[in-house]
């Protein structure tokens, strides 16, 4: 993470920090969204877009939990829209990303999923 003073506002800093925290939950020892090899998909690929979509949706959920300003959430919505263009042919992308984002948020907040 860059230093907090590198951001335009504290809200932007925390939104970015939360985005990175959601990424961290994908580790194989956490929620296992990422391969054990640690290989990062190429920038702009569908797999990279999915990863960014989960992180940004999770960050938006966490921002809402924290009461972070709507202007930051509007920026996040624009970022999500950009990644969705890459996934235009995947009709399940949003639903899958939302579910993965919620699991990440629950892990970060220490919530336990309900028994199914």
Residue 115 has pLDDT above 50, yes or no: no
**pLDDT confidence of residue 70:** 67
**pLDDT confidence of residue 93:** 86
Distance CA 99, CA 85 (A): 19
- What's the predicted TM-score (pTM) here? 0.85
Distance CA 15, CA 111 (A): 20
Across residues 88-116, what is the average pLDDT? 85
- For 36-75, what is each residue's pLDDT tens digit? 888 888 888 888 888 988 999 999 899 999 998 766 667 7
- Nearest to 105, CA basis, from 57, 70, 69: 57
| 3-class DSSP string for the chain | CCCHHHCCCHHHHHHHHHHHHHHHCCCCCCCCCCCCCCCCCCCCCHHHHHHHHHHHHHHHHHHHHHCCCHHHHHHHHHHHHHHHHHCCCCCCHHHHHHHHHHHHHHHHCCCCCCCC
- For 1-25, what is each residue's pLDDT tens digit? 999 999 999 998 999 999 999 999 9
């Amino acid at each position: 993470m860059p230093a907090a003073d590198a951001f335009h506002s504290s809200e932007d800093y925390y939104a970015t920090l939360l985005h990175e925290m959601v990424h961290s939950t994908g580790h194989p020892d956490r929620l296992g969204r990422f391969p054990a090899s640690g290989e990062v998909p190429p920038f702009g690929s569908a797999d990279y877009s999915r990863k960014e979509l989960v992180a940004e949706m999770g960050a938006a959920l966490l921002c809402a939990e924290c009461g972070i300003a709507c202007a930051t959430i509007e920026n996040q919505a624009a970022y999500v829209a950009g990644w969705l263009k890459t996934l235009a042919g995947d009709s399940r992308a949003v639903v899958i990303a939302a579910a993965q984002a919620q699991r990440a948020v629950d892990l970060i907040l220490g919530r336990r999923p309900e028994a199914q």
